[in-house]
Amino acid sequence: MSDPTHRPGRLGIGVVGAGKVGAVLGAALRAAGHAVVGASAVSEASRERAAALLPDVPVLEVPDVVRRAELVLLAVPDDELPGLVQGLADAGLWQAGQLVVHTAGRWGTDVLEPARRAGAIPLAIHPAMTFTGLSLDLARLNDCSFGVTAPAPVLPIAQALVVEMGAEPVVVAEADRGLYHAALAHAANHAMTLTGQSAQVLREIGVARPERVLGPLLRASLDNALAAGERALTGPVARGDAGTVAAHRRALDEYARGHAGDDVLLAYLDLARVTARRALDRGLLERSRYDAVLAALELTGAPGGPDPRPADGEDTP
């Protein structure tokens, strides 16, 4: 293949925010043949990251990065983005025809309106991936999707940038960006919380390496959920095993009394109720068993003994 730097349409890219996301995406675009003409990096960690992933790229102040770039990549925290865009507009730094791309999940392109009024072209590309800020993230982009939002005439530009990085663009409407980002955060962040809670409980009952116990279970559960959806749901709540659910409630009540805070108990109760409701709505759980599970969660008329049905061993836990 020809040298990518010799392909037509190569851009001078400025990275505002050489954090874990900005440095990696800058490196990916550089590998696609674009020239990274400057990067801003405030913290020592960001400077080290820029040196590792964007060698020989000058570290500049934000205004200088914007002045040099044909494409400005804004990789800053979601809450900082509006003020940054407006501040650069107030300083008269946006240029007509300049591509302005942000990576925030929450926002579409409306947040870039101050740049658009100056003649810039607004694009939003959000990677649905967690980043380490290391070179291994570059390979992970090949399995990654980006939520892409842009005005229709320039949407192909945003999609092309994502494809150049080896990822898959998924178009998200401006009005849907909030729900899009909430869905991703709900899955990724709350899975982290639940895993941490489970590991904590196992560790405190003497399991030396809870990750060895949880790893195969969680990986299989995720694979099954992605392949078969909620048809793959297993466990005592989905089976309507009210006696087991009541036993869980009692054990977690006791655990909560012995620890500062009851977040594990509260998370279990809330998610068990939601799981039961979704199993009922999808025809996976009979109404009588659903009612028994809710009673068990409240310890109101809940059965205390084992489930009366014979165990078939077809699914755990």
pLDDT digit string (tens) for 47-94? 999 999 999 999 999 999 999 999 999 999 999 999 999 999 999 999
Residue in 83, 61, 81 with CA at minimum distance from that of residue 14: 61
Do 19 and 26 form a contact (C-beta atoms < 8 A)? no
* 10-residue averages of pLDDT along the chain (317 residues): 53 97 97 97 94 97 98 96 98 98 97 98 97 95 96 98 98 97 95 96 96 96 94 93 96 88 92 96 95 92 43 50
Whole-model pTM: value is 0.86
Supply the pLDDT for residue 305: 43
According to CATH, the topology of domain 4-172 is Rossmann fold (3.40.50)
Phi, psi of 14 (to 5 degrees): -110, 130
Supply the pLDDT for residue 9: 64
Domain ranges of the chain: 4-172, 180-298
Supply the pLDDT for residue 258: 83
Supply the pLDDT for residue 225: 94
Count of alpha carbons within 13 angstroms of residue 200, beta-carbon side:
15
Three-state DSSP class for residue 250: helix
